């Protein structure tokens, strides 16, 4: 397991703040015994470890197959339905949505290999990620990756806790399946908009692993 580069500033700031708070608590409470300071120290260590876990990248055997659409994120499948895409396709697509909890790995990966033909950031609200309108009203970043005649739209969506979306792709770039697409700090949701007729390999409520689980066949 390694720590993602997006985590270094957050982890460092958290560690410094907790160290300062622990020093202050120690000075204010240890004149009458150090039980409070000791408890606060253990709580601080737990909080720091939890923050570190947000930015972990576990070692995995990634799924690499041009016929398959691989999960772009860790989490639980919360939507599988046909929708009309107003943003890019202007037609019906099959939407598969993955909800990322704070306990999930937060790195996002390319579901397929291909050329990036669309890349757009949208300002928006911070509705809870499972809200039906979060796909269209929340802050989000959309990219379309095309391979051959088919393409997939990947939408990183902010939520009530996720306040920063990072996307690494550029229009015209050729990307490889399972390489990093971006990062959503503190979880949220990732939507896939797939061609109608795509054979889906997951079910509602199923837990998937980014870069490993197969969402469907392209």
Instruction: Tell me which residues are annotated as active site.
Output: 188
End-to-end distance of the chain based on CA atoms, in angstroms?
30
d(CA 7, CA 11): 6
**DSSP letter (8 states) at residue 101:** P
d(CA 106, CA 76): 13
**DSSP letter (8 states) at residue 161:** S
CA atoms within 13 A on the CB side of 138: 28
Largest Cα–Cα separation, the chain: 73
């Amino acid at each position: 397991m390694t720590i993602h580069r997006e985590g270094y500033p957050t982890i460092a700031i958290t560690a410094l703040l907790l160290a300062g708070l622990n020093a202050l608590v120690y000075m204010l409470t240890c004149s009458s015994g150090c039980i409070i300071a000791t408890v606060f120290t253990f709580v601080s260590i737990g909080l720091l470890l939890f923050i570190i876990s947000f930015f972990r990248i576990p070692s995995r055997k990634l799924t690499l197959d041009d016929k398959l659409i691989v999960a772009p994120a860790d989490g639980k499948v919360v939507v599988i339905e046909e929708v009309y895409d107003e943003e890019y396709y202007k037609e019906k697509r099959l939407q598969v949505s993955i909800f990322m909890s704070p306990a999930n790995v937060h790195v996002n990966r390319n579901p397929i290999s291909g050329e990036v033909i669309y890349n757009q950031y949208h300002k928006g609200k911070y509705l809870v990620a499972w809200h039906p309108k979060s796909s269209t009203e929340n802050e989000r970043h959309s990219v379309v990756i095309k391979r051959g005649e088919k393409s997939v739209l990947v939408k990183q969506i902010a939520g009530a806790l996720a306040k920063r979306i990072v996307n690494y792709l550029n229009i015209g770039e050729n990307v490889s399946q399972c390489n990093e697409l971006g990062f959503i700090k503190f979880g949220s949701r990732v939507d896939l908009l797939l061609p109608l007729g795509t054979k889906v390999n997951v079910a509602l409520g199923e837990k998937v692993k980014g870069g490993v689980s197969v969402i469907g066949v392209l």
